[in-house]
Amino acid sequence: MSRLPLVTIDTADTEQGELLDEVQRQLGRVPNLYAAMANSPATLRGYLSLRDALTAGKLGAKTREQLALLIASDNGCEYCVSAHTMRAAKMGFTPAAIAATREAGADNPHAEGVLRFAREVLRTGGRVRDEQLAAARNSGVSDGELAEAVGHVALNVLSNYFNHVARPELDFPLVPTATKEAVMSPKWRAADTVALVAGYTLTDADGQPTSTVRNVRVAIEGGFAHISVDGSAPVQMVSAPAVALITYRPES
């Protein structure tokens, strides 16, 4: 059950009703995410405005869909992963392409450059290194597209985080982001070293991007490595294939 009520046309006030009518017009129905977000017309209006502005931007529909799927997957948002997996399939993406997208991979070098840049923005809080900007530009990503990718990170973080809070009932075919066993019983282990493959970074205890961290705690869940660098800092997450080496401490 949703932790926030789902606003319907019957229960909506005038402002909520206008927004839900617009969602219905655009999408043909009102997904539960929008129905829950309508509890705050200001939030829903802001979300729709940013989404509509980005839709008219430089990045094409397929790349926008890949960004939404990638960001939802990295944020562990089951609702959005399920929704965007379905939409990607309708747009012609194969299961292999969908799986690659969730790991910031694409057949098109330009699309992959956008995805990898956006993932770094997400994972580093925007503290992208110069060489990562250069790599995106070398893939043909323009400065305007770089700026736009940051906008897509913000847009999708909003929907992902809102879903984490509201937990609306899923109204798309389920695509799990992790196994139930992993969610229910994560196993944390102390590690002396975690090293990532080239192109991936974590944030160290001083807030600086690095490819290697030491004296951390690690849990492998649902194909991702969850890494706690500092007990007071947020847990960081990278896909398991991005991890080159983990040196665990012996368990007592």
Q: Can you tell me which residue has the tokens 């392409």?
A: 97
What does the pLDDT look like over 57-101, one tens digit per residue? 999 999 999 999 999 999 999 999 999 999 999 999 999 999 999
- 46 — phi, psi (to 5°)? -65, -40
pLDDT in tens, 129-184: 999 999 999 999 999 999 999 999 999 999 999 999 999 999 998 887 753 333 43
- Decide if 70 contacts 104 (C-beta within 8 A): yes
Summarised one tens digit per residue, pLDDT across range 40-59 is 999 999 999 999 999 999 99
If phi > 0 it is left, if psi is from -120 to 50 it is alpha, else beta; for residue 65 that is alpha
How is the chain split into domains, by residue range? 14-166, 180-248
CATH code of the region 14-166: 1.20.1290.10
The string over 18-46, giving b where at least 16 C-beta atoms fall within 10 Å of a residue's C-beta and e elsewhere, is: ebbebbeeeeeebbbbbbbbbeebeebbe
Contact (Cβ atoms closer than 8 angstroms) between residue 206 and residue 190: no
What predicted TM-score, i.e. pTM, was given to this entire model? 0.72
How far apart are alpha carbons 134 and 116 in whole angstroms?
A: 12
